Structure 1
Amino acid sequence: MAEIIKAKVLLVDDEELFLTTLAKRLEVRGMQVSTVTRGKDAVAMVDKQAFDLVVLDLSMPGMDGLETLKQIKAKQPDAEIIILTGEGSIRTGIEAMKAGAEDFLQKPVNIVELVNKISEAKDKRMHILQNKSVKDIEQILQTKAW
Structure 2
Amino acid sequence: MASELYTQIKNGVKEAMRSKNKERLSTLRLIQAEFKRIEVDERIELDDARILVVLDKMCKQRRDSINQFKDAGRDDLAEQEQKEVAVITEFLPAALSEDEIDTIVTEAIAESGAASPQDMGKVMALVKPKVQGRGDMGLVSKLVKSKLS
The structure richer in helix per residue is: 2
TM range, normalised to the smaller chain? 0.3 to 0.5
Q: Which has the larger radius of gyration?
A: 2
Normalized against structure 2, the TM-score is what?
0.32
Normalized against structure 1, the TM-score is what?
0.33
